[in-house]
Chain A
């Protein structure tokens, strides 16, 4: 066991997978010598060599497209997109090929590949460096989307993602890369994809969050004192763990989804629709979501208006608890 922050846990996991499996290769812009713009891949090239850990030219299409070829060719590529805002030149490859190869070839070809990328706001970054684009991945059949919220989970989820035989997009909440440390076991372990985590049990309201919003919600609950809320960290956005959410709503009768992504057509819409379909009669009050506004993420001087924060979450939980069933 060692104390690690999210960034260190990811670095450690990549290192471990490169060590344990010769098929794992790691590449992207500036991931080699420099170890990535956040230093997530620091020292991995030195340790595992330039053939397995390497820089690419600036071309996201080349990065994701070649990962597809590598996966067919017997490797387990772990590709990095420097920021999720730069995914789009490679999005074509992800949607038109990565997501469909298994289906198109009726199972003959499948793609054990991971595409990692830092995502999310709250760091007062430049334009295109703060988006939360979960929907654009989760909406595509054939792609999985995983978002860790703690160092411990990051290791287990990334390990599972690398071992998974389908393309997994792994979004890293950069805002909490260095936010806190946690004990992370040295030995390899997996956290199954598609399984949520109950962060803390409760009986009066279900709150679903992921990524940096888990911590924000925990802080909101601290502000509230004893709200008796059940906090669920979704961990995998696609496919998501309906069962855990539904079981929780059966118990609490209230559900709030918290996400950074913009509201309209955001992940909360899908979760709430599922709750309505499955446990509508268990709901005591209308389901609610607290999300980003339907706007382009503002530059730093306006970003605080847009970000969901503990105060806003606490206020919303209080409002929902005050509603009479």
Chain B
């Protein structure tokens, strides 16, 4: 229904919670309890603080390269709230918040960016593939995973994410096309954060919207205000229902903005204006959610301050654990190459151990 109403060719953007923190589309205001709303805000605030802290740790030389998420919390958390813990997440590289919202603990999420492969080993109950840096490839993985879960007679769905820039990649199109042909239970979210490193969205494609690419695949596509958690949630919910009914994939374009740098090695001043960033700061997804809560009488400055302090402690605690277990043992770099170590790998590990032992003398 939703997807019929919001034709991407007519540049209609689906919105529920407006920039001013007011509901602009009553039909889709979620029926969440106060507790649920507060828990969601907490989730967003955790993502925000964890991000700010990661950048600080990086500046102090305690964290390696980090990929900031600030500004994209609603675009990631909204969709995950519409899914079950038994559904699957196949992330790209900027889905820190989606992973946390799907149940990944902060410590493990941090550990990856800390430079330890154990940060890609998620707990058993977290149905997510690791962070994927190679742009576009995740779409096909998600297609196959979705197909497999259908063949296994489950009603599970798979959600995958990609950036605006990533949609110009061949594998994005191949995956979307294949997923559509298979009627795979798949939801693909494009986080259109307006930039692909220094390349603006307009240079990625001549299409007016990214959502309209769905038309060519023969599936629904919709443009959603990506800084509106309610809208992202509602769109994903309908997409998941379609997928569970066996109607195939849906493409959701989330209009959002990367408020920070591309990575901690990037300097956005080289390619974009401060005015643009300032404009998007006004549309901060947390800000509008906070206004909504405040108007409902659920939030105030005191509570905000208390929450910030709590989350700050939680983040510091998690990072302390990361630093405590962050070192890698020599065997760890060999052990997972194959199911069993080959004789040659055993020999190479022995030679490394001998070298380290002699060096230690």
Q: Which of B117, B165, B203 contacts A298 (CB 8 A)?
A: B117
Q: Which of B134, B197, B265, B328 contacts A302 (CB 8 A)?
A: B328
Q: Which of B136, B263, B345 contacts A89 (CB 8 A)?
A: B136
Tell me the smallest distance from the CB of A315 to a CB of chain B, in Å: 8
Task: State which of A51-59, A110-118, A188-196 sits at the interface with chain B.
Answer: A51-59
| B residues in contact with A300, CB < 8 Å | 64, 115
Tell me the smallest distance from the CB of B266 to a CB of chain A, in Å: 8
Q: Is the interface of A mostly helix, strand, loop or mixed?
A: loop
Across the interface, do B169 and A59 meet the contact criterion of CB distance under 8 Å?
yes
Q: B348: CB under 8 A from chain A?
A: yes
Across the interface, do A30 and B197 meet the contact criterion of CB distance under 8 Å?
yes
Cα-based distance from A315 to B333 in the complex (angstroms): 22
Cα-based distance from A69 to B46 in the complex (angstroms): 49
Across the interface, do B115 and A294 meet the contact criterion of CB distance under 8 Å?
no
Mark contacts of B84-128 with chain A using CB atoms, 8 A cut-off: 1 yes-contact digit, 0 otherwise. 000000000000000000000000000010111100000000000
Cα-based distance from A294 to B344 in the complex (angstroms): 8
Known A-B contacts A293-B333, A312-B355; A89 and B170 likewise in contact (beta carbons under 8 Å): yes
Known A-B contacts A34-B197, A61-B170, A301-B116; A55 and B203 likewise in contact (beta carbons under 8 Å): yes
Across the interface, do B197 and A126 meet the contact criterion of CB distance under 8 Å?
no
Cα-based distance from A57 to B170 in the complex (angstroms): 11
* Closest B residue, CB atoms, query A37: B197
| B residues in contact with A298, CB < 8 Å | 117, 328, 332-333
Q: B270: CB under 8 A from chain A?
A: yes
| A residues in contact with B166, CB < 8 Å | 58
Q: B312: CB under 8 A from chain A?
A: no
Across the interface, do B359 and A311 meet the contact criterion of CB distance under 8 Å?
yes
Q: A305: CB under 8 A from chain B?
A: yes
Q: B7: CB under 8 A from chain A?
A: no
| A residues in contact with B114, CB < 8 Å | 301
Known A-B contacts A34-B270, A89-B169; A58 and B333 likewise in contact (beta carbons under 8 Å): no
Across the interface, do B271 and A29 meet the contact criterion of CB distance under 8 Å?
no
Tell me the smallest distance from the CB of A290 to a CB of chain B, in Å: 10
Across the interface, do A126 and B334 meet the contact criterion of CB distance under 8 Å?
no
Q: B139-187: which have CB < 8 Å to A?
A: 165-166, 168-171
Cα-based distance from A298 to B345 in the complex (angstroms): 15
Q: B316-340: which have CB < 8 Å to A?
A: 326-328, 330, 332-334, 337
Cα-based distance from A85 to B133 in the complex (angstroms): 10
Cα-based distance from A293 to B356 in the complex (angstroms): 15
| B residues in contact with A293, CB < 8 Å | 333-334, 345, 348-349, 352
Q: Which of B117, B170, B344, B349 contacts A59 (CB 8 A)?
A: B170
Across the interface, do B271 and A34 meet the contact criterion of CB distance under 8 Å?
yes
* Closest B residue, CB atoms, query A299: B115
Q: A306: CB under 8 A from chain B?
A: yes
Cα-based distance from A30 to B266 in the complex (angstroms): 12
Q: Which 4 A-B pairs have the closest CB atoms?
A: A300-B115, A57-B168, A34-B198, A302-B328
Between-chain CB contacts (< 8 Å), 25 pairs: A29-B199, A33-B271, A34-B197, A55-B198, A55-B199, A57-B168, A57-B199, A58-B168, A58-B169, A85-B134, A88-B134, A89-B171, A128-B134, A293-B349, A294-B337, A294-B348, A295-B334, A295-B345, A299-B115, A300-B64, A301-B115, A301-B326, A305-B333, A306-B333, A315-B355
